[in-house]
Structure 1
Amino acid sequence: MLVILCLPLMVVTVMAVWASLGLPLLFTQTRAGADLRVITVTKFRTMTNARGPDGALLPDQMRQTVATALLRRLRCDELPQLLAVLAGDMSIVGPRPLPLATVASFGDLGRLRSLVAPGMTGWAQVNGNTLLSDEEKIALDLWYVAHASLWLDLRILLLTLKTIVFGERVNDMHVKAAKDFLHVIRAGRSHGQ
C-alpha cells in the first residue's frame, strides 16, 4: 500500500533526476542485511561521478545539483528501498544498511547491529544522522537493536517526518544514553560476558 501511495512522489523524483542528471536514474550497492546476509540496496541517483584532478570523487555536496540536493534532504532518493522492504530484505525502521566491509570493521558490534533487518530510517537518522560521528551512530544503532519495539518504531517514523521538515539535529540526551549503553556492552565483552 505504501508503494502505491508513494508512486506519484516517485514519478516526480524520476523526472527531477532525469532533468538534472540524466540517465541512469537508479544506482545499486551491495550492503549487509540481517545476519550479515548480502542484500542489494537501490536508490534514485542524486550525484554525478565528477572527480578531481587526482582522480578521487569530489565531495558529495559538489556532485549534487540543487534539485538532487533537495531530493536527498526530503529523503525521496530512498523510495526505491520500499521494494527491498516488500522483498523482506529491509524494514521501514532499523539501522541503515552499511557496506559489508564497514560492518565487518565493527567486529562483534557489527554482528550485534545485524541482528535486525536494516531500515529506511532509524534511531541514528532521527538523532543527528550526518552530524554524528561513526561511534555515535553505532551506539545509537546498538541501542535501537536492544530496545526495538513497535512503539519505538512508531516514534522513529514520527521523528523522521520532523527531521524531513526541520532538518537534522543532534539529540544530545539520546546520543549520551546510547554511548553509555555502548560503554556497558564493551565493558561486558572485556570481562568475557
Structure 2
Amino acid sequence: MRNPARRAALVDAAIEVLAREGARGLTFRAVDTEAGVPKGTASNYFANRDDLLNQVGRQIHERLGPDPAALAETMRTPPSTELVTRLLRELVDRLSEDRAGYLALLELRLEATRRPELRAALTTTIEANLRENIRFHLDSGLPGDRETVVLLYLAMTGVVIEHLTLPDVLSPFDLDTLITTLVTRTLPHPD
C-alpha cells in the first residue's frame, strides 16, 4: 500500500511546481525534485499527468480553506455587515499567505480549458465550494441572499487575482477599504 502522507507531500509539491512553472513545467521529475524524493516516486503514485492534475484539483481547495478553529472563533461574532467584511479580509489574508496555492489554482483553471476531464472535475469541486459558501452564509444568518453571495464571490475572485498576480494595479487603493466598500455596496441595507 502506498503511503498517504507521501502522496499528500507529492501533491503539495505539485502545487508549488504548478504555481512557479505553470502547467507545462509540471512533470513527475519536477514534482520529485520539489518534494525531495528519489526520481520516479511521483510516477509510482500517479498513473499519469492527468491523474496528478486531478489530485491537485481535489487537494488545493482543502489547502486553501479556512482553519475550522479560526473560523469558529470568527463566527462567535453576531451576523452583520462587519462580520462579512471580516470574513472576506480573512479570505484575502489566507490566500495571500498561500499565494502559491492560489496561483496553482489559477493554472489549473487555465489547464482545464484544454482538458475536458480536468474541467469536469474542477467544475464539480468549485461548484461544491460555491454551494457550501452559499449554505454557510445563509445558515449563519449573514445579511444577503444567495445572489448576494455569488456577487461577493465573483467580486472577490477579481480582487484576489489582482492582489496576487498584479498587485501594482491595486496599489493606489487601500485593500481593506475596497473590501469594506464592496461589502457595504453589495449587501442589502436595512430599511
**TM-score, length of structure 2 as denominator length:** 0.30
User: Over alpha carbons, which structure has the higher Rg?
Assistant: 2
More helix by share: 2
**TM-score, length of structure 1 as denominator length:** 0.29
RCO higher in 1 or 2 (8 Å CA, sep ≥ 6)?
2
More strand by share: 1
